[in-house]
């Protein structure tokens, strides 16, 4: 049986990489960290923020509420406090529909 290397899954991501992944500025992420208690990145001895996958998912939810749905910061905090799972489900549906749409557009171009 051939040897397969497992993909190494990272536990922590620096703020610069997270900002690049989500197409946000690092200053906006730092601001949201102060505004939303669900964001709790670890900090190393130099004070650099290190985000987990859960933190990144929380940032995606916050982005969805604030930028896509038009919630105020106060409204987004309240929505997350009241019913976070509903918001996460809506975000997953939105992401899957966007993937399907991009697939269909690519398929249409090939025809």
What confidence score (pLDDT) does residue 2 get? 66
39: domain CATH number?
A: 1.10.1660.10
Whether residue 4 is contained in a domain is answered as: no
Whether residue 3 is contained in a domain is answered as: no
Whether residue 6 is contained in a domain is answered as: no
pTM of the model: 0.75
- Whole-number Å distance between alpha carbons of 67 and 98: 16
Which tens digit of pLDDT belongs to each residue from 54-99? 999 999 989 988 998 899 999 989 988 887 777 777 778 888 888 8
- Whole-number Å distance between alpha carbons of 65 and 75: 9
Whether residue 8 is contained in a domain is answered as: no
Q: What domain count does the chain have?
A: 1
Mean pLDDT of the chain: 87
What is the rounded average pLDDT of the residues 1-17? 79
What confidence score (pLDDT) does residue 26 get? 93
- Given a contact cutoff of 8 angstroms between Cβ atoms, the answer to whether 30 and 40 are in contact is no
Would the pLDDT of 8 be above 80? no
Whether residue 68 is contained in a domain is answered as: yes
Whether residue 7 is contained in a domain is answered as: no
Residue 17 is part of which domain span?
A: 13-110
Which tens digit of pLDDT belongs to each residue from 31-61? 999 999 889 899 989 989 999 999 999 999 8
């Amino acid at each position: 049986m051939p040897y397969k290397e497992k993909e190494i899954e990272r536990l922590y991501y620096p703020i610069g990489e997270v900002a690049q992944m989500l197409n946000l500025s690092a200053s906006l992420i730092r601001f949201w960290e102060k505004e939303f208690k669900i964001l709790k990145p670890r900090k190393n001895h130099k004070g650099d923020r290190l985000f987990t996958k859960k933190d990144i998912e929380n940032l995606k939810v916050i982005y969805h509420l604030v930028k896509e749905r038009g919630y105020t910061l106060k409204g987004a905090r309240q929505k997350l406090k009241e019913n976070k799972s509903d918001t996460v489900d809506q975000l997953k549906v939105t992401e899957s529909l966007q993937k399907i749409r991009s697939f269909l557009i690519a398929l249409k171009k090939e025809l």
